Amino acid sequence: MDDAVDAWLTRLAELWRSERTAARARHRAERDGTTLATRVARGLALANLTVSDFRPAAGGRTRVWLTPPRHIDLDDVRLGPGDPVVLWRQHPGEPDAARGVIARPERGDLIVIVAGDLPDVVLDAGCHLDVEAPESTFDRGDRAIARARAAKATAPLTAMLEVLLGVRPATARRPLPWQPFDRALDDAQRAAITAALHADQVALIHGPPGTGKTRTLVEVIRHAVAAGERVLVTAPSNTAVDNLGERLLAAGVGVVRIGHPARIAPALEARSLDALVAGSDGARLARELGDRARDERRAALGARGAEARDRWGEVRALERDARAALAEAEAHLLETAPVLLATCAGADHHALAERTFPLVVIDEATQAPDPLALVALARGGRAILAGDPHQLPPTVVDLDAARGGLATTLFERRATAAGAPMLVQQHRMHADIMAFPSASKYDGALVAAPAVAGHTLAELGARPDPERGTALWLVDTAGKDWTDRRGGPDETDGDVPDPSTWNPEQAERVAREVRRLLARGVAAADVAVIAAYHAQVRRLRTLLAPERAAGLEIATVDGFQGREKEAVVLDTVRSNADGEVGFLADTRRMNVALTRARRFLLVVGDSATLGGHPYYQALFATLDELGAHGSAWADDGDLPDGC
């Protein structure tokens, strides 16, 4: 291995250790430095849950239905499918605490899949729930770094890393003609596909918002499968993996989804490894053998001497054969499926053993910290990384580790050094909504497809609003003295302060703007409210509870990565005399927020606070050019009579 690659891996291991230490410290502070009531108010815990049902689940687990108190809104819980949690009565560290993973809620109940049996104390008396530190993720990253350091000089992983880190140039096979499965691909998508199909080590696909990155990846994967290659498809989040998996299924590609059942989207549950094994001939044989083993066990309990010894031997043989039948069914699925789906960390799943694949795909690669990207890369002969360095970065808790390089991904390193084919025709946003993101992040390269360039809410039946007559509009709160503040309305004295920020007066105005939009006839399900901070999201969900019941979505920026709505109301929250913008200074996050809307985007923000930052100064200049800069002083946010 090249010395530069080895030095990078050594440094990466140090940064990963620092990140683990910081994550543990934050976890302890959030749990031990606050009351349960405050953790519940912040969406980090749930109290007084009752068990409404429980059933056996695959892998010796138990699926538990937990009902929260009536006043609890599960949408306010900052925990989602796949997050590790602990169920407890007296203290999260008690011996009888049950550890598990959150699944998707059903009918107002939270579902947790726990390891083993449900403790009697939880079943009888209910429980509280707290998040657990994600130690297994760090363990997998550690193993991936160690594997990379031990890789031979001739190993595919070594070649990929040398290309990604700029130690040697990438090579490609001679391009051959190919015929698209998807006839609607645009020219930039076709060029990116050609480069990906012929790369020897690594190919990058740079997909700005709305440019069809997922569609492009589906085409690449279909061609790899048609050529007889097996593909491991990964992404840093379960949501991104499942989104790509659903698109592949719709295209007729056979997929098997690997991972904890709680982490898999309902649309892919039938294609999960557990479900497919359970429906296999091997599982039916295993059940028959298990039934015979139970009968033999009963007989053995009443036998004596040699007969007992023989019967117990038969029990063990039947159980061994049952396990072998399940293992054979699992191995057959893993060997024959053209596409396997897993998160980057999930590519370390024990079922994969030492399997490798001709091609590994990492979607949303610009969100994958390098240790987790290495987990997936180690499985491949070559790799395709797709993402956008101008959208959400990896989540890194330790600021020193982030500055040291952990927040910079392999995709970014390679793209900075050698460039990456960029998709440029976007198929989501009205041209006016697209204008500023294109100019500020993509050198003005984005082009709105004709079908979306001028589309409006009027085409969906919405009534006109003469005071919000453009596709993009700013309600400028400058001078209103709606000062932002830390924490939230439910803070408790003595708690570690909540780092989140909220702005109650601005939240009231945002709520009125949402109602104004809905009063025009826009369906609630077509509207999203995006707020820059969790505390503001919680406030807005309270203010807009009836609208949420009708289908309105309210979430942070992170919750809308990869998604879109016909109309979006964006609350920037920050308003203060010091011009403090907080993490809004990370303009990648704002780029995501500004690119979720298809036909109408309304921004509520304080130009006096944000305007000191060059990015927001440029945004306000674009709004001025479009004639889309309004003032909160001009009206109260209600729809005028007659509209």
Q: Dihedrals φ, ψ of 232, to 5°?
A: -100, 120
Would strands 231-235 and 357-362 be described as parallel, antiparallel, or unpaired?
parallel
Q: Dihedrals φ, ψ of 554, to 5°?
A: -135, 125
Percent of the chain residues past pLDDT 70, beyond the cut: 96
Element (H, E) at 359: strand 357-362
| The pLDDT value given to residue 498 | 65
With a CB cutoff of 8 Å and minimum separation 6, the contacts of 400 are 18
| The pLDDT value given to residue 64 | 86
Q: Which region holds residue 383: left if phi is over 0, alpha if psi is between -120 and 50, else beta?
A: beta
* Residue 415 near residue 389, CB atoms below 8 Å: yes
Reference 343, options 49, 81, 29; nearest CA is: 81
Residues of the chain with pLDDT under 70: 1, 58-59, 290, 296, 310, 488-498, 642-643
Strand pairing partners for 186? none
Place of tokens 């698109």: 247
Cα separation, 390 vs 499, whole angstroms: 25
Reference 431, options 151, 626, 283; nearest CA is: 626
Cα separation, 295 vs 287, whole angstroms: 12
Q: How far apart are the first and last CA of the chain?
A: 69
| The pLDDT value given to residue 624 | 94
Tokens of 330: 């699992």
Cα separation, 83 vs 78, whole angstroms: 10
Tokens of 356: 């490798």
CA-CA-CA-CA dihedral for 232, 234, 238, 241, to nearest 10: -80
* Residue 160 near residue 377, CB atoms below 8 Å: yes
* Residue 73 near residue 128, CB atoms below 8 Å: no
Tokens of 515: 């109602």
| The pLDDT value given to residue 390 | 96
Coil/strand/helix, residue 485: strand
Tokens of 347: 């590519």
Cα separation, 524 vs 508, whole angstroms: 18
Tokens of 638: 């209600």
Cα separation, 515 vs 320, whole angstroms: 63
pTM above 0.85, yes or no: yes
Cα separation, 169 vs 184, whole angstroms: 33
Q: Is 286 exposed, middle or buried (0-12, 13-18, 19+ CB in 10 A)?
A: buried
Q: Dihedrals φ, ψ of 205, to 5°?
A: -130, 115
Place of tokens 């309990």: 301
Strand pairing partners for 100? 85, 114
With a CB cutoff of 8 Å and minimum separation 6, the contacts of 511 are 540, 543, 544
- Residue 53's CB is within 10 A of a number of other CB atoms, namely 12
| The pLDDT value given to residue 249 | 95
Place of tokens 């979607």: 363
Tokens of 249: 């299924």
- Length of the chain in residues, anyone? 643
